[in-house]
Amino acid sequence: MRNLMAQKSLPEVYKEIDHAIRSSLNVVLEGESGVGKDYFAKLIHQRRNWGGELVVYDCQKTGQDQTRMVEQLTSPVLFQKLRRSTNRDTLFIRRIDLLQAHLLAQLSDFLEELGKRGTFPRSKLLSLGIIGSLETRREKELSINIPLHRFLNSLFCAKIRVPPLKERKKEIPMLIERFISLFNKEQKRNIFGITPDALAILLQYDWPDNIYELRTEIERAATLTKDCGSIKPSVLSEKVTKSALETRSLHKSGKV
């Protein structure tokens, strides 16, 4: 499996996503929690415009639920359906890294058997448009996790790294606009936007919990903002504003 991403910016991620769409390659999206892997999986599915559904198999389930899920995934009928030229579903295996080792081995054995039967030559198996996701792991951890490594190599031909939000801060204004719009629609409010001073503070924060944390911050700030007003620094959380002050102090002292 090729690693398509090193330390690339978001526009380059979109280029890799576009390639996955046009080639129908099986790809696995890798990144920290909250970077938008689910969003990109939905984007790939929608842009393919195959007419089918995005069928999600969520590996965050435990015990018997995982077992039942793998029983469904090891059905030859399921894989035959993925070959349809019209009304074709996209299979999304979410958080593969949470699947139990013996179930990963079972899936790998099943895929190898499909190849031996001649039902699915490797070239066809790798181009069914299947999407996977996993949370960032150190390369050493991934390499010693043999069942996971084997399964990824069996089903996916490329891995796309989705960068954390701190590496794609140019995207923050657009995300804020989207979250305010969603907040207004869901809460029947009328928040105009965000002031330049407040935006400057948000751009200085590193967002360790990524897009999820940004959305939570915006929803909180919007709740504290009056209708027909804009989000100001005074309604931002102490954690975010304190971090911005510390960053400014470091810049002024020349330590950054």
| Residue range(s) defining the domain that contains residue 217 | 166-244
Residue 72 maps to a domain: yes
CATH code for position 207:
1.10.8.60
Indicate the pLDDT class of residue 122, thresholds 50, 70 and 90: confident
**DSSP 3-state assignment of 189?**
coil
Distance CA 198, CA 143 (A): 43
Q: Are residues 70 and 106 in the same domain?
A: yes
Q: Are residues 105 and 172 in the same domain?
A: no
Residue 107 has pLDDT above 50, yes or no: yes
**Number of structural domains found in the chain:** 2
| Structure token digits, residue 188 | 């029947």
Q: Are residues 81 and 201 in the same domain?
A: no
Region 69-79: mean pLDDT is 91
Residue 211 maps to a domain: yes
Question: How confident is the model over 143-169, as pLDDT tens digits?
Answer: 568 899 999 999 999 999 999 999 989
Q: Are residues 227 and 104 in the same domain?
A: no
**Phi then psi for 75, rounded to 5 degrees?**
-95, 120
Residue 137 has pLDDT above 80, yes or no: no
Which helix (H) or strand (E) segment is 144 a member of?
A: helix 139-144
Q: Count other Cβ atoms within 10 Å, centred on residue 153.
A: 12
**Residue after which a domain boundary falls, among 136, 163, 190:** 163
Q: Are residues 147 and 86 in the same domain?
A: yes
Q: Are residues 201 and 145 in the same domain?
A: no
CATH code for position 60:
3.40.50.300
Residue 60 maps to a domain: yes
**Residue after which a domain boundary falls, among 142, 163, 184:** 163
> CB burial class (10 A; 0-12, 13-18, 19+) of residue 217?
buried
Distance CA 163, CA 86 (A): 33
Residue 13: predicted pLDDT? 82
Q: Are residues 139 and 18 in the same domain?
A: yes
Nearest 5°: the CA angle 107, 60, 168 is 105
- Which amino acid, 85? S
Decide if 214 contacts 171 (C-beta within 8 A).
no
> CB burial class (10 A; 0-12, 13-18, 19+) of residue 51?
exposed
Distance CA 65, CA 93 (A): 14
Decide if 155 contacts 120 (C-beta within 8 A).
no
Residue 207 has pLDDT above 70, yes or no: yes
Pairing between β-strand 131-135 and β-strand 193-194 as defined by DSSP bridges: unpaired
Which helix (H) or strand (E) segment is 31 a member of?
A: strand 27-31
Q: Are residues 94 and 181 in the same domain?
A: no
**Phi then psi for 55, rounded to 5 degrees?**
-95, 115
Residue 137 maps to a domain: yes
Residue 19 maps to a domain: yes
Residue 16 maps to a domain: yes
Residue 253 maps to a domain: no
High-pLDDT (> 70) share of the chain, %: 89
Region 93-110: mean pLDDT is 95
